[in-house]
Amino acid sequence: MAYHPVTKKITDLLKEKNCWFETFEHEPVRTSEEAAKTRTGYSLHQGAKAMIIKAKGPTFGEKFVMLVMPADLRFDNDKVKAVLKARETRFATEQEIAAMTGGVQIGGVPPFGNLFNLEVVADPELFKNEKIVFNAGDRCFSVAMKTVDYKKLVAPAVESIT
């Protein structure tokens, strides 16, 4: 099966940096809950949910930001606005996400915002997991990896956003 090119970028990066990882091929999933059912041995809390938002602020105009958190949690918009110093936020549209990710579909967006030149803000709750698992650029392909390696490779700002 042919996957989105981002999938190969992620697995190549993990190999290049000698990171432990495992992969899962599964039926297409769109939600974290659906994905968790396909990932034997991993909990919903270990799922790294990546959401792209558009923020508007007094000092930066508009920008897209990737938020990453455990899949069983939701972000708190007031906390996100405070962290980003934003006046308002909204979810990126499906078209905006496709444009910035080279066609990755919602549900397949990996928590590697650095691959898309996005600022990444991750909730500290994510790093309480030894391993995380996420869709890696495709709704049919997931990767599990060590959280410490994720932190090194992506270098997210770690802020309480849930």
pLDDT recorded at residue 113: 97
Residue 53 CA to residue 64 CA, distance in Å, equals 6
* Mean pLDDT (the chain, rounded): 95
Chain segment 55-109, per-residue pLDDT in tens: 999 999 999 999 999 999 999 999 999 999 999 999 999 999 999 999 999 889 9
HSE-CB for 110 with a 13 A CA cutoff: 31
What is the average per-residue pLDDT within 4-19? 96
Q: What's the CATH number of domain 5-158, 1.10.150.20, 3.30.70.890, 3.90.960.10, 3.40.50.970?
A: 3.90.960.10
pLDDT recorded at residue 1: 62
How large a percentage of the chain has pLDDT more than 90? 83
User: Where along the chain do its domains lie?
Assistant: 5-158
pLDDT recorded at residue 35: 83
- Give the global pTM: 0.94
Residues in the chain: 162
DSSP code per residue over 23-64: EEE-S---SHHHHHHHSTT--GGGBEEEEEEEEEETTTEEEE
Query: Within 10 Å of residue 98's Cβ, how many Cβ atoms?
Result: 14
